[in-house]
Amino acid sequence: MITAKTILMKSRTDEWFGTDYTMNLYKGCHHGCVYCDSRSDCYQIESFDEVRGKEYGIETLSRELTQKRLKGVVGTGSMSDPYNFFERKERLTLQALELFDHFGYGVSVATKSDLVTRDSQLLARIATHSPVNVSLSMSTADDGLARKIERSVSTPSQRFEAIRQLAADGIYTGILLMPVLPYLTDDWATIETIIMMAADAGAKYIYPLWGMTLRDRQKEHYFLFLKRYFPELVSLYKQTYGHRYFCEIQNQTEIKMKFQKLCREIGIEYRMDKIIENYQMPYQAIQGTLF
């Protein structure tokens, strides 16, 4: 456990799923995603693969929720997955959701773990009074490739099943299509498969990031992965991107057009402003400007 003076932070922007606050009850992550930006020096997380919960985090969160003048939507999953391995035992995320239900707050969850389905009924209960959405992150629908790039997390097939269960329980759920890895997961066949499987599972939206970030420790970690599994791509990355921070996919214009066209045809939203509107609008009518 690590100490933390505060748990609930004011969001820097409400453009990310319309969140008013952010929350991270854990530090570090077990999932082993080779591309994770949170490894970067700027976040100052040493031993990133070691997960630590925040001591007295629930007590601190409860106190902070009672002190806030305005309620709102709390986002979680930005720096550490709220459904990491420790959550099965520590249940910090579960306890936080119970507090949101009690105090009347909404929640926006981002995760790669199907453990989120454990809390599906609780999320549905929160949704009776406050906005709720759950995003499952995807970079590929291929379980084999996923075991290389996301070594210790639920497979894509398990995540699609989680979406199916959440959707069946009435949760507004969808996919974060990110990162899209240049030369690895940026082909149309991969992206089209994700879209169609998402639609079949009942996803309401897919929000993409057409590329990935690469800097300092994160870049070193990712290149070690490439050298082991795809050595032919190392020189290609260096030639194409050099020292860039954001590495956009090379075929972005074509892929983006195909992506938007297919999403419109099958009725899946991909614009952030509309995603926010779709899951928050019903509560604005009831609660005025609260959400």
Rounded to 5°, angle at Cα 212 from 209 and 216: 150
Question: Is the pLDDT assigned to residue 272 strictly greater than 70?
Answer: yes
Residue type, 37: D
Percentage of the chain beyond pLDDT 90 is 73
Distance from C-alpha of 206 to C-alpha of 178, rounded to nearest angstrom? 10
Q: Are 128 and 171 in contact (CB under 8 A)?
A: no
* Burial (CB count within 10 angstroms: exposed 0-12, middle 13-18, buried 19+), residue 67: exposed
The residue with tokens 């290609």 is: 236
How far is it, in rounded angstroms, from Cα 279 to Cα 287? Answer: 14
Distance CA 28, CA 79 (A): 8
Fold of 8-287: TIM Barrel (3.20.20)
In this structure, of 68-72, 176-180, 261-265, the range with the lowest mean pLDDT score is 68-72
- For tokens 């169609």, the residue is 196
> Where does 55-161 show beta strands of DSSP type E?
73-76, 106-111, 132-138
User: Reduced to 3 DSSP states, what percent helix, strand and coil does the chain have, rounded to the nearest 5?
Assistant: 45, 15, 35
Q: For the chain, give the number of residues.
A: 291
- As a whole number, mean pLDDT of residues 130-157 equals 95
Read off the pTM: 0.91
Q: Is residue 116's pLDDT more than 90?
A: yes
The pLDDT of residue 36 is 82
Domain boundaries, the chain: 8-287
Query: Cα torsion at 20, 279, 29, 184 (round to 10°)?
Result: -120
The SS3 assignment for 118 reads: helix
pLDDT tens-digit readout, 204-220: 999 999 999 998 888 99
**Alpha-carbon distances of 231 from 224, 234, 235, rounded to whole Å:** 9, 6, 8
Convert the pLDDT of each residue in 13-68 to its tens digit: 778 999 999 999 988 888 888 888 777 766 666 666 777 788 889 999 999 999 98
Residue 238 has pLDDT above 70, yes or no: yes
Identity of the residue numbered 243: H
Beta carbons of 8 and 68 less than 8 angstroms apart = yes
Q: Which pLDDT band holds residue 89 (cuts at 50, 70, 90)?
A: very high
Alpha-carbon span 211 to 103, nearest angstrom: 38
Sign of the Cα pseudo-torsion (93, 15, 203, 247, in order): negative
- Position of tokens 């004011």? 10
User: How far apart are alpha carbons 25 and 97 in whole angstroms?
Assistant: 12
User: Cβ distance 80 to 153 under 8 Å?
Assistant: no
